[in-house]
Amino acid sequence: MLTKNQQIKATLKDTKERRKHMKCRVYTVKLDRSHLNQDSLTRLKLLFLEAKWLYNFCVGHPNVFSIDDKITVVPVKVKDHFERRQLRQLSSHMRQSIITRTQQNIRGLARLKTKGHKIGRLKFKSHVDSIPLKQYGNTYKLINGKYMQFQKIPQKLRVNGLEQLPPNCECANATLLHQHGDYYVAITTYTPRKHSPAMVVPAQSIGIDFGVKNQLSLSNGIRIQYKVPVTRRIKQLCKQLGRKQYRSKNWWKTLYKLLKAYAKTTNIKRDIRNKLVHFLCTNFQMICYQNENLRSWQRLWGRRMLSTSLGGIIRMLEIKVQTPVEIDRFFPSTKTCSRCGHQRPMSLAERTYVCHHCGLVIDRDYNSSCVIEHEGHRMLGRGPTEVTPAETNTSTLTLDYLNQIAYVEASMVAETGSLTALA
């Protein structure tokens, strides 16, 4: 006869094994503030305030791994002294999740330190923007596909976006978020996998040269440019925020409007990044790229780099590509000729590479992408490759797809103004 704890552990183990074969996806929904009463708004504010108190207590504790999950009173620093505050709004599951997350962060820093990375320590926070909701049906639950209920909040909260959840999904843990004055819930769901044939990626390779003027230059002759500039509304809100009294009600209202405007441009850049990476991963099996020093680029061309998301593209290529090949940062891809391998110095003002050894005249970024692809094949022990006319013709068919992405302009290097004009 199994005890109650043994039965719970067995059930959790079976659930974990079953979900290994299911598709996991996170959906973000938004709480409708127009349907929140004053008591619910106060409870939500207290929820994040008490989460900050508990997190700072864990960070300042000499041994965070000995903190009791059932803690109800924590010391809070007020000016030059400490006061004891009660955790009335945080439920036991929420307190346990915050403590566990802090412990996991410390373990992660310890693992990085053992690998030789230079790390710091966890710092105290002035605000906490996320609270883990550990258990569906207890910490939170869905009601009639329109409402949500949280522990210690009696009102049923109306939610926008629950219709995007699949009808046969299985809800797991979630996270309550507080972003630019609004409240969101990121729900983790599991759905049965559909047995569809695996996607076959063409056995082709490509080299990518990242830059400030041309964000992506591909070795098949495609040049991709995009820029999401700072909008006029953001500039106006920045001016308005500077005229408000610091931390007044109007100051907070203007700040939340500014954060929403920035979040909109961030979402646009994220959408461009996802679509470009999807295009590359579905058409090329091997992608070669160079480890660029984006921090120095940020110092030199801060405003230009702000309107792109090159760091996110490089990070996603490392994860999603079948065969990613990263070239060393100090490899002279710009100085090397893609035909004969001869090197010559190049200044930033030169947009055309002219080889004095073999006479090759070629676009600067296109030459770098070809050199990066050749170096990637050399690192894997393969022979050098060249872009054939058939591959170039095939790549022109993708221009329509790339130009349909908002803010993206794709063109062939062989068009007027580049190689054709140099011939």
Q: What is the pLDDT of residue 309?
A: 84
Is the Cβ–Cβ distance between 89 and 79 less than 8 Å? no
Contacts of 268 (CB under 8 A, 6+ apart): 228, 406, 407
The pairing of strands 352-354 and 361-363 is: antiparallel
* Cβ atoms within 10 Å of 347's Cβ, excluding its own: 6
Q: What is the pLDDT of residue 298?
A: 87
Residue 12 lies in a domain: no
Residue 141 lies in a domain: yes
Tens-of-pLDDT digits for all 423 residues of the chain? Answer: 668 777 777 877 888 888 888 999 999 999 999 999 999 999 999 999 999 999 999 999 999 999 988 899 999 999 889 999 999 999 999 999 999 999 999 999 999 999 999 988 899 999 999 999 998 999 999 998 899 999 999 999 999 999 999 988 899 999 999 999 899 999 999 999 887 676 678 888 999 999 998 999 999 889 999 999 999 999 999 999 999 999 999 999 999 999 999 999 999 999 999 999 999 999 999 999 999 888 888 888 888 888 888 989 999 999 999 899 999 999 999 999 988 889 998 888 888 999 988 888 999 999 999 999 999 999 988 765 444 433 544 556 688 889 999 999 999 886 434 444 343
Strand, helix or coil at 150?
Answer: strand
Residue 118 lies in a domain: no
| 281 and 154 belong to one structural domain | no
Q: What is the pLDDT of residue 261?
A: 95
Residue 399 lies in a domain: yes
- Alpha-carbon distance of 81 to 54, in angstroms, equals 17
Residue 263 lies in a domain: yes
Q: What is the pLDDT of residue 388?
A: 41
Is the Cβ–Cβ distance between 103 and 95 less than 8 Å? no
Q: What is the pTM of this model?
A: 0.84
| 278 and 404 belong to one structural domain | yes
The domain boundary residue, chosen from 152, 169, 192: 192
- Please compute Rg for the chain using Cα positions: 27
Q: By residue range, what is the domain housing residue 345?
A: 205-422
Q: What is the pLDDT of residue 79?
A: 86
Residue 314 lies in a domain: yes
| 149 and 252 belong to one structural domain | no
Number of domains in the chain: 2
| 354 and 415 belong to one structural domain | yes
Q: What is the pLDDT of residue 198?
A: 67
